Chain A
Amino acid sequence: MSTSKRSTIIVEHLRKQQMLEAIANGKRLDGRGFDEIRPFEIEIDVIKKANGSARVKLGDSEVIAGIKVETGEPFEGLENKGALIVSAEVLPTASPHIEPGPPDEETVELARVVDRGVRESEMVDLDELVLVPGKIVYTIFVDCSVINADGNLFDATSYATVSALLSAKLPILEMQDGKVVDTGKTKPMPIKTIPISITAVKIGDVVMLDPVTEEEGSMDARITITTSDEGFCALQKGYTGSFTVDQIKKAAETARIKGQEIRAKVKEFTKYGS
């Protein structure tokens, strides 16, 4: 059951007032423009025990994604495809408002929105991850741990997931006498495209990208739009307010253009294709 609740983050009216004044002047409290994304950095292979990993710092939000490759049965209805699942945990280290325990609805939404971007874009060629059709396939677990939270966990987690997949080394497994055997060799993950999510929030009548915590605490509504090389592939509108149709169309266009910039940066950080 999902119940309406008050935001755990109460933005001081002094700050909100300043935020609104700044917005009226076309700026944000940290000096960014509405279409400006915070500086970010990506470090790959931070977890040597994982088959792929990446640490993303987007402003002060910090996420580590780690990939574990196992084998298992395919998902129902997808018998001839490998399985891939993205999970997330916002660690209690991340902010004073997080309670340890099973993921709450916001964390489940976070994981599913990131998962959807990867899945629907067909980023990973799951056809290549089958060992015995209908019986044994590669299972790719992408687990994300949010270490520090300062807004826009959707994009930070998404970039961490994508970067970990791009830099992952897939163990080459073989079937011998009906058993899965690790050959000890690896190959790159079969990648078809790079999905990039762009998240925006609406405060008053203004839509701005990459919100920090206090902007999320003041938002009316949020939208996450994921694009691949080909076009749009996933979207999630969130929070209790709403957007006009024009605002959504404009946000979609921004997400497409910004997505290209971010995609180039992600490739650079992960040295993908070089």
Chain B
Amino acid sequence: MTQTRNLIDENGKRTDGRTIDEMRPVKITVGTVKNADGSAFVEFGKNKIVAAVYGPREVHPKHLAQPDRCVLRCRYHMSPFSTDTRKNPAPSRREVEISKVMRESLEPALMLEDYPRAAIDVFVEVLQSDGGSRCAGITAAAVALADAGINMRDIVSACAAGKVDDKIVLDINDTEDKEGGADMPVAYMPRLNQVTLMQLDGNLSPDQFNECLDKAIEGCKAVAEIQKAALMQKYFGNETEVKEEQ
């Protein structure tokens, strides 16, 4: 990652006009895929991501089933038209890795022991990609899992922070990802205060490292509020309290 131009101007504004502590607009819609047991559509900046959950359901082939817990299967995939240059539809090494870290970021929240011998399938499709599509994908998947009624200890919320022009900034976009100094995607369970995904590429000093992680966690907490608001809206509309019958 070599920086070729200034990504933060003299007024402290980034390439897309945000301040260093500002997140891109996030919009979550629950239940967008009719056939799925749970689903969500997430727009995170220019990312457009659909997540669908099927399950718990029977495992095929049967020998993959585990006697004491549920098998979680995740697929992160990008549509060929989602990127700047057409992406070959066959899964790339990058997609295989993201599928894996995504699964591992969701598993700690799921009570898989409640569904022995079954499988839960999570399909995340990136229709349009921007920086931070894995975080947006995890965010979408967690909402879809809650929508599917899978027992969860906590929600999983994800957001990245990074380094741009030697400053720590929240929620890296596409340009900053490609040209900036460091990218640190984090997934987090807000109630349990646990990090379930963390990656880093780029160089940070020890102080910057701490600042970056703290900033990513702040981002995750903000994402969690948006996830919860979307789920409340889907299930309870504008009501926030249970009305007792007369």
Contact = CB atoms under 8 A, between A and B. Distances in A.
Interface of A: 46-50, 53, 60, 64-68, 70, 87, 89, 91-96, 100, 102, 141, 143, 145, 147-150
Q: Which of B36, B54, B81, B89 has the most CB of A within 10 A?
A: B81
Most interface-central of B34, B46, B84, B129 (chain A CB within 10 A): B34
Nearest to B174: A49
Contacts of A149: 35
A48 B89 contact: no
Given A91-B77, A93-B33, 7 more contacts: A47-B82, A49-B82, A65-B81, A89-B79, A92-B75, A92-B123, A147-B33
Contacts of B54: 92, 96
B128 interface: yes
Contacts of B57: 96
Nearest to B129: A49
B123 A91 contact: yes
A47 B85 CA distance: 13
B84 A49 contact: yes
* B interface residue count range (under 10 / 10 to 19 / 20 to 34 / 35 or more): 20 to 34
A49 B80 CA distance: 11
B139 to A, nearest CB: 16
Contacts of A91: 77, 123, 125
A252 B84 CA distance: 41
B175 interface: no
Contacts of A68: 80-81, 85-86
Contacts of B129: 49
22 contacts: A47-B82, A48-B128, A49-B129, A60-B34, A64-B79, A65-B81, A66-B82, A68-B86, A89-B79, A92-B54, A93-B50, A93-B51, A93-B52, A95-B35, A100-B75, A102-B90, A143-B81, A145-B79, A147-B33, A147-B50, A148-B35, A148-B36
Contact of B81 (A66, A94, A148): A66
A67 B81 contact: yes
Contact of B127 (A67, A95, A96, A145): A145
Nearest to A67: B81
Contacts of A148: 33-36
Nearest to A97: B35
B127 A47 contact: yes
B118 to A, nearest CB: 13
Most A-side CB within 10 Å, residue of B46, B86, B89: B86
A79 to B, nearest CB: 23
A70 B85 contact: yes
Contact of A92 (B39, B82, B121, B128): B121
Given A48-B46, A92-B121, A100-B123, A141 B86 contact: yes
A68 B77 CA distance: 17
Residue in A49, A89, A93, A95 with the greatest tally of chain B CB atoms within 10 Å: A93
Given A89-B89, A93-B52, A53 B81 contact: yes
A49 B84 CA distance: 6
Nearest to A94: B35
A94 B121 CA distance: 12
Contact of A93 (B82, B86, B123): B123
B151 interface: no
A186 to B, nearest CB: 15
Contact of B48 (A47, A60, A70): A47
A96 B35 contact: yes
B34 A49 contact: no
Interface in B77-113: 77, 79-86, 89-90
B86 A70 contact: yes
A53 B129 CA distance: 14
